[in-house]
Chains A and B, each alone.
Chain A
Amino acid sequence: MDASFADPSLFAGAWTGLSAMASPELWLLALAGVFLGMTVGVLPGFGPPAAMALLFPLVYVLDPLPGIALLAGIFYGAKYGGAVTSILIGIPGEADAVATLFEGHPLALGGKARQALSVATMASFTGGVSASIGIVLLAPVLSGAALFLGPGGRAAIMACALLLVACTGPGGFRRNLAMIFLGLALALPGMDPVYGEARLTFGQWRLSGGVELTSLLLGMFGLGDLLDALMSGSQNTTSERADSVPALNRFSTIMAALRGSLIGFVTGLVPCGAGVTASFASHALEKRLSRHPERFGKGAWEGLAGPEASNNAAAMASFAPLLLLGLPTNPIMAALLGALTVVGVAPGPSLPNEQPAFYWGLIFCLFLGNAFLLLLGLGLAGFWARLARLPFRLLWPAVLTLCLTGSYVGADGMSGPAQCVLFGALAVFLKRHACSPAPLVLAFVLGPRLETHLMQTLLSGW
């Protein structure tokens, strides 16, 4: 942690890393990782943890760098894939993609699916590349600083994020606050994160897994919207909302993406629910800064670019604590830490000096992966956008299947679809009362961590 910005030895290995890149195998595996990640990101439920578990054995056969590059590609590829379904059919595959949905889905409904996907791709690329540059320049300093933010500080950040969304989210302060408490309550059943004892499971061990995040997302967004559309009978077609979409202002959208990258980079270094916190915060910030806050929720381009840049930046930034401190900030990073141990790489402040070929090679792979993401994303945008033009009567059975199978895979059992249907019904009820499910999802994701850090602070007794 004493390595500083000015330390020239930090960059001494960069050339070694660059020469490690001269292998077609590495390029192919990085491409495969990104492509696989995008695919699993598009299929809700079958998230990156599952894909990673399937491909984990490859780490034993491959060289360290290509193996880790492949797994890393799955991680950030999936973050982008989640945005695709968010925009096209309004189903976020992951909690990170919820903020993308606010603006992305109205844009797709307004017939701008292709542009929305392109903007999301470019914002994602901006976030990824600027965060990778951030890692190169500042990671040793910042990741050290992140250590000094203890449990109390993290709890405060999360509480601030919740408050921010309560104030700026759609639906008004009182409704948002109610949704936040509902989300916190939904996170209660299951294993107590601190004492590990079952709570609110009514003596049923099967409930000890608590509420499944995949089922909540698919029920609240996918199934909820579907039920609502079917019950109201208005099968919203693309043409009727086309003129309500604001025009794309390139400059302000780029600025939004850059601001989002900054927020994402900083939150990605600290384990406080990086992607979710960052994307919600970025959306709130854009709404505050915008001269036309009334456009938000109807397809404001800034509100699409900001969160999308910030969640990819957060994904990239979380590599810094992993590589330089050996500190995983999320379960996928924890799996990567295990993979690093298997291939014999010891993460720590001395990693850039001791294994420069690996450290710099991996950082160049992050740049490379982002370039692949840009190419694949832009190339496929037209193809995916055609899906959004499918008539509703063809689309809804597919969405229904996706929701039910996705929640089945996510919960690994029938409890998934059952929860999904329940949350679908709840979503319709909330929608009829003008409540937005987004604060609920944020509170659900952050709740257990907020509780853990609060308890840790209290137990340390200072």
Chain B
Amino acid sequence: MKWPRSLCRFALVWLTLLLLSFAPHASAADGTVRLYVAFSPGGALDVAARALAREAEKELGKNIFIQNVPSGGGMTGVTKLIESSPDGSTLAACVSNALIFIPSRNDAPYGIQDVEPLLTFGQASPVLVTRPDAPWKDMDAFLEATRRRAGSMRIGVPGLGTPSHIALAIMAADDPSLKWRFVPFGGSGEAEAALLGGHVDAAASGALPRMKNGQLRPMLTLAGARLPSLPDVPSLSDKGLADPGRGDSTFLLLAPAKTPENALDALSRAFQKAAESDAYRKALEGFSVAPALRNRQEAKDFLQRAWREEGNILKAAGIADRSAALPSGENAGKNSHAE
């Protein structure tokens, strides 16, 4: 068979391009730090990481170049980190479930031993909200209504297996009189919309500005501590409940394992200072993120402990068998190819 000449030319050009694409990637210019953010632009982690980086740039005297890698629920971002050279020039920011929850179920090419945590710089604290015109005004009235309606109450969550879903599932597992139908949405924004449209009775939300201007009524902070910006809303520990979201919704800053000790020290010092700055705290105000700051050693211990406790938490929530229940942060990764 004789190929048309045009097809031969086509193959030639194609091969050349293929070879070119394997040319070594140009290495980053000296004095630049690349920070992979395993979240879509505009999300809570992204805003927090960008604010942190802006402050840390001043401390380090280096430029920090941010790249959003939201796909795979954060897996891609972490994988890019561990594939980079461990010289302190590449870092990643992720929500801790990208290290704990997701890899165990998706054959990710990394484990927690492949990363070196530098610090934790926040904890997403979703809030259970309802419509302002709903008959239940607070959490106790909502629980009362749940018992009365015997299993027909619907709660919109930003995805099955997200911290807010697990917190509520544990409540329901502890108290047999509580039964809810959990409806998963692609992020808390959609869950709020469904709440306002009357398609669910309550929703887990992160939209602080809209709670403050009265569009949504906050009932319970689904985290261990109250949010500084919502001081009147009780938290899980106020109600004597466990805080299961701790291990999944904490913001971590990571370096690849085997990064030299002095580079790690310099980086963690700079970012620690940045996380303590007023400018960083101010950036978090609009988001339901508690400033949960831990230094390098504490972050490492935290990650180890969260890894060990993970199985028990899932079992307690009664969703361990449905091992699926997989979180992708509040809305990372989902709909990544939409429009």
Within 8 A of B (CB), among A188-209: 191-198, 201, 203-205, 208-209
For B69, what are the chain A residues with a Cβ–Cβ distance below 8 Å?
412
* Nearest A residue (CB) for B37: A53
* Residue count of chain B within 8 Å CB distance of chain A: 77
Q: How far is the CA of A265 from the CA of B17 in the complex (A)?
A: 43
Cβ contact within 8 Å between A276 and B339: yes
Cα-based distance from A53 to B73 in the complex (angstroms)? 18
Whether A196 and B160, one on each chain, are in contact in the complex, defined by CB atoms closer than 8 angstroms, is yes
CB distance from A443 to the nearest CB of B (A): 13
- With A94-B339, A348-B213 known as contacts, the answer to whether A195 contacts B324 (CB < 8 A) is yes
**A293 contacts chain B at the CB level, 8 A cutoff:** no
Cβ-defined contact, B286 with A230, below 8 A: no
Flag whether B120 is at the interface (Cβ < 8 A): no
Nearest CB on A from B200, distance (A)? 7
A392-406 vs B, Cβ < 8 Å mask (1 yes, 0 no): 000011001100100
Most central of A53, A149, A273, A321 by chain B CB within 10 Å: A53
Contact A196 B159 (CB under 8 A): yes
A327 CA to B185 CA in the complex, in Å?
Answer: 13
The answer to whether B113 has its CB under 8 Å from any CB of chain A is no
Does A325 belong to the interface (CB within 8 Å)? Answer: yes
- Interface residues in A233-285 by Cβ distance below 8 A to B read 233, 235, 271, 273-276
Q: Say whether A129 faces chain B, with CB atoms less than 8 Å apart.
A: no
Q: Is the CB of A326 within 8 A of B210?
A: yes
Contact at B183–A150, with CB atoms within 8 Å? no
Closest residue of chain B to A327 (Cβ to Cβ) is B193
Is B239 at the interface (CB under 8 A from chain A)?
A: no
B76 smallest CB distance to A (angstroms):
7
Q: Is the CB–CB distance between B197 and A150 below 8 Å? A: yes
B187 engages A346 (CB within 8 Å): no
Bound-state Cα–Cα, A448 to B10, Å: 35
How many angstroms from the CA of A460 to the CA of B7 in the assembled complex? 55
1/0 per residue B170-205: CB within 8 Å of A? 000000000001111111011011101111100000
Q: Out of B79, B199, B209, B213, which one reaches A150, CB within 8 Å? A: B199
Known contacts A195-B324, A348-B210, A460-B199; is-contact A336 B42 (Cβ 8 Å) = yes
Within 8 A of A (CB), among B301-339: 322-328, 331, 333-339
Q: How far is the CA of A132 from the CA of B180 in the complex (A)?
A: 41
Return chain B residues, CB-CB under 8 Å to A203: 107
Chain A interface SS verdict (over half)? helix
> In whole angstroms, how far apart are the Cα atoms of A94 and B286 in the complex?
32
Please determine whether B42 and A148 come into contact, CB atoms closer than 8 angstroms: no
B85 contacts the other chain (CB 8 A): no
Q: Is B295 among interface residues, defined by CB-CB distance under 8 A?
A: no
| A98 CB to nearest B CB, Å | 12
Q: Which of B19-37 contact A (CB under 8 A)?
A: 21
A60: Cβ under 8 A from any B Cβ? yes
Q: Which residues of B contact A397 (CB under 8 A)?
A: 13
Q: Indicate whether B40 reaches chain A with its CB closer than 8 angstroms.
A: yes
B184 touches A456 (CB 8 A): yes
Is A95 an interface residue, CB under 8 A from the partner? yes
Q: Which of A36-44, A101-109, A337-345 contacts B (4 or more CB under 8 A)?
A: A337-345
Q: Is B226 an interface residue (CB 8 A)?
A: no
Residue B161 CB within 8 A of the other chain: yes
Query: CA separation between A197 and B184, bound complex, in Å?
Result: 13
Instruction: Judge if B252 is at the interface, Cβ distance under 8 Å.
Output: no
Out of A213, A321, A334, name the residue touching B337 (CB < 8 Å).
A213
Contacts between chains A and B (CB distance < 8 A), count: 214
**Residues of chain B contacted by A445 (CB below 8 angstroms):** 337-339
Report A-chain residues with C-beta under 8 Å of the C-beta of B198.
Answer: 148, 150
**Among B6, B71, B334, contact of A230 (Cβ-Cβ < 8 Å):** B6
B193 pairs with A331, CB closer than 8 A: no
Given contacts A195-B324, A273-B339, A445-B338, contact A147 B213 (CB under 8 A): no
CA distance A56 to B21 in the complex (A): 28
How many A residues touch the partner, as a band?
Answer: 35 or more
Cβ–Cβ contact A414 & B21, under 8 A: yes
Check B197 against A193 for contact (C-beta < 8 Å). no
Known: A273-B339, A338-B42. A195 touches B160 (CB 8 A): yes
> Chain B residues near A346 (CB, 8 Å)?
209-210, 212-213
Point out which of A338, A417, A448 has the most chain B C-beta atoms below 10 A from its C-beta. A338
| Interchain CB contact under 8 A, B333 and A456 | no
A328-B189 CB under 8 A given contacts A194-B184, A449-B338: yes
Q: Is B75 an interface residue (CB 8 A)?
A: yes
- In the complex the two chains form, what is the Cα distance from A334 to B327 in whole Å? 18
A391 within 8 A of B: no
B158 to chain A, nearest CB (A): 11
CA of A332 to CA of B4, assembled, Å = 44
Contact A57 B197 (CB under 8 A): no
List of B residues within 8 angstroms of A230 by Cβ = 4, 6-7, 10
Q: For residues 127 through 162 of chain B, which have their beta carbon under 8 Å from a beta carbon of chain A?
A: 154, 159-161
Query: Are B197 and A147 in touch, CB under 8 angstroms?
Result: yes
* Contact of A334 with B17 at beta-carbon distance under 8 Å, contacts A49-B41, A60-B54, A341-B209 already known: no
Which stretch, B43-51, B217-225, B259-267, touches the partner chain A?
B43-51
> Would B286 and A344 count as touching, CB distance under 8 A?
yes
Q: Which residues from A are CB-within-8-Å of B210?
A: 326, 346-348
In contact, B41 and A210 (Cβ under 8 angstroms): no
Interface residues of B in 209-245 (CB under 8 A from A): 209-210, 212-213, 215
Pair B42/A56 contact, Cβ less than 8 Å = yes
A50 nearest in chain B by CB position: B68
A208 vs B332: C-alpha distance in the bound complex, in angstroms? Answer: 14
> Which residue on A lies nearest to B39, using beta carbons?
A338
* A8 close to B (CB within 8 Å): no
Q: Complex formed: what's the CA distance from A177 to B213 in Å?
A: 48
Instruction: Give the residues in chain B near A60, CB-CB below 8 Å.
Output: 50, 54
A positions within 8 Å CB-CB of B? 1, 49, 52-53, 56-57, 60, 94-96, 147-151, 191-198, 201, 203-205, 208-213, 226-227, 230-231, 233, 235, 271, 273-276, 321, 325-328, 330-332, 334-339, 341-342, 344, 346-350, 354, 396-397, 400-401, 404, 408, 412, 414, 417, 445, 448-449, 452, 455-456, 459-461
Q: What are 9 residue pairs bridging A and B, where the CB atoms are less than 8 Å apart in the complex?
A: A191-B333, A195-B161, A196-B324, A209-B76, A213-B337, A275-B339, A330-B338, A330-B339, A400-B14
